[in-house]
Structure 1
Amino acid sequence: MIMIMITTITAMNTSTDMIPTPHLVTLMQWLSPAYPVGGFSYSHGLEWAVHAGDVTDAAAFQEWLADILTYGSGRNDALLLAAAWRAEDDTQLAAVDAMGRALAPSAERLLETTAQGAAFVKTTADIWEMDLPTLCYPVAVGRAARLIGVGLEQVLPLYLHGFASNLTGAAMRLVTLGQTEGQRVLSRMTPLCDLLAEEALAGLGLDELGGATFMADIAAMKHETQYTRLFRS
């Protein structure tokens, strides 16, 4: 994996408007581990990476997670979420969703985004009485945020942090990684989440989608035949 330096990045300041408290609480609810999307059951290929000896401690996990965010699914999810939020009609939304599904490099990674998306849509549509079609996870979150009037500048960093948080939780179960160490790694991802959110806010479109996390993609493929597994991906 490519080593990247995590430096302090100025927090986003794209809007002078404070997010309305009900919307903030709603976003916290949607992206909370308690929301029934099953995020805790997916490791994004990390389980195989640990099994293969590629991720063995906090430093290795931090590098792995930073790469996933910067060069892999984290950045792509942010762009898909933003595109779904900006979609003006169902045809545009369907095109974004199709792109999100096509980007999945393995059967389990496709399951990860579609199953979480379906669960998110079911619960959110029922509670908030939204008209949401079945969508992959980042697309569903982006569309739902648009429907309740939440700005991209609010939902993007929270979504990315939730993504990183789920993988950190998986790492704490798979690696010799204590709670404090895990939270320290997650804290170091905050500036990176803000930076990736800023890039998506700046107008990067679907043409900018792509990835270079080949080892993580291969790990996701290898996980499908791993003998003993705790996670679905």
Structure 2
Amino acid sequence: MRTDGLLTLMQWLSPGFPLGTFGYSHGLEQAVADGGITSADDLRDWLRAVLTDGTGRNDAILLAEGYRSDDPTQIDTLARALAPSRERLLETTAQGESFCSTVNAVWGTDLPPLSLPVAVGAAARGQDIPLEPALQAYLHAFAAGLVSAAQRAMPLGQTQAQRVLAEITPLCQSMAATALTQTLDDLGSSAFMAEIAAMRHETLQPRIFRS
């Protein structure tokens, strides 16, 4: 991959890119409030489940299909239908629309409003960025965003947080490699506790995050 492609991925998926990622916890805030996540080990286990059996897995497949498709809006329709709760739908669509708007303005593209994984896949294809590093970067950014949310929702020091993220990184790499061979037929989720937490979060008060 060209150096400029790597740097573009780093820019798109950095905390400084205007997606509002800091405002979403993906149901983690509810899991913390319920006492299901109280330690770094709990957080690592929760992240592994969400990545391998929940949104992470599905997002990787949707990103890859968005990359391959000549019409990513068709993949986007499915991505929206797969959102298991109102706030999960808001999370992927609001961030995706912000992503498309910024990429269009800065890189001169013409992406329609898309859910986030489909948007990243379509944008990476448009910039001739290889699919596998795009998948790796997306999954790592997803995990990093949740670790950052955990630091604000529970007692978790900076060193502990970075240790958790480092332990999750090899999983992001292996999942990216697997997603290269998967199709829409492989979509599915069994991270039930995370999904229920996301649904219950809609009525959590007080709360910090939008999801």
Superposition TM-score, scaled by structure 2 size:
0.99
User: Map of 1:84-163 to 2, 5 A cutoff?
Assistant: 84-88=66-70, 90=71, 93-163=72-142
Q: Does 1:82 align with 2:61?
A: no
Q: Could you tell me how far apart the structure 2 residues matched to 1:67 and 1:95 are?
A: 28
Residue 208 of structure 2: aligned partner: 230
In 2, Cα distance between equivalents of 1:99 and 1:210? 12
Q: Which residue of 198, 202, 205 corresponds with 1:220?
A: 198
- For the pair 1:34 / 2:34, whether they are aligned, the reply is no
Q: Deviations over 1:11-62 (max 9, x none)?
A: xxxxxxxx11111111100000000001111000000000010111101111
Query: Which one-letter code corresponds to 2:203 in the other structure?
Result: T
1:145-224 to structure 2, matched below 5 A, reads 145-201=124-180, 203-224=181-202
Letter in 2 for 1:54: G
Flag structure 1 segments of 5+ consecutive residues without an equivalent: 1-18
Task: Quote the residue 1:22 is aligned against.
Answer: 4
- CA-CA distance at 1:99 after TM superposition: 1.1
Cα deviation code 1:52-81 (max 9, x no counterpart): 101111011110001000000001100000
Secondary structure of 1:33's aligned partner: coil
- Specify the alignment match of 1:50 in structure 2: 32
- After superposition, give the CA deviation of every residue in 1:148-183 in whole Å (9 maximum; x if it has no partner): 100102111011000000000001111111000000
Instruction: Give the distance between the partners of 2:9 and 2:110, measured in 1 at CA.
Output: 18
**Is 2:44 aligned against 1:62?**
yes
Alpha-carbon distance, 1:136 to partner: 0.1
**Which digits, 9 at most, give the CA deviation of each residue in 1:116-170, with x for residues without a partner?**
0000000000100001011000000000000010010211101100000000000
Provide the secondary structure at the position in 2 that maps to 1:37. coil
Opposite residue 182 of structure 2, the aligned amino acid is L
User: Aligned AA for 2:157?
Assistant: G
Distance 1:63 1:23 in 2: 32
Tell me which amino acid in the other structure corresponds to 2:193. M
Q: 5+ unaligned residues in a row in structure 2: which ranges?
A: none
Query: Secondary structure of 2:203's partner?
Result: coil
TM-score by length of 1: 0.89
**Structure 2 CA distance for aligned equivalents of residues 37 and 48 of structure 1:** 22
Partner AA of 1:226 in structure 2:
L
Task: Give 1 or 2: higher helix fraction.
Answer: 2
Identity of aligned residues (%): 55
Q: Which residue of 2 aligns with 1:3?
A: none
